[in-house]
Structure 1
Amino acid sequence: MSMLDKLKGLLKGHEDTARQGVEKAGDAFDAKTGNKYQSQVDMAQQKINEQLGTDNPQNNPPQT
């Protein structure tokens, strides 16, 4: 069993909380770096949400 499978099992039923955590962590990283890596952070957030099965559309699209 891969690490991702273990994480999925632990997060089952808590997808919204996991998505909020991913967003909050990405926002904190953006704040610390002055949005220097915003597009990469947004892409990573999207990929993580896809892997966790919580790929919900964001209210605000990534800014370039």
Structure 2
Amino acid sequence: MGFMDQAKDFADKHDKQVDEGLEKAGDQVDDRTGNKYSSQVDKGVDQAQQRTGDGDTNG
């Protein structure tokens, strides 16, 4: 199993943790940019969360 397969398998098994990590990363970007790009960051986080994990419609 290659690295990408392992990463997808991890994301499928740990969807909640991956989503929380993406949310925290988005919050860090907001903090560092003074929320200047908050709507774009939120949109990116939402899209990333939809693409990770088991049971997501775009996964």
TM-score (norm 1): 0.69
Matches within 5 A, 1:20-39: 20-39=20-39
Select the structure that is richer in helix. 2
Displacement of 1:25 in angstroms is 0.3
Alignment size in residue pairs: 53
Distance 1:51 1:43 in 2: 13
Give, in whole Å, the separation in 2 of the partners of 1:43 and 1:10: 23
Aligned identity (percent) is 42
**5+ residue gaps, structure 2:** none
CA distance, structure 2, for counterparts of residue 20 and residue 47 of structure 1: 13
CA-atom RMSD, angstroms? 2.0
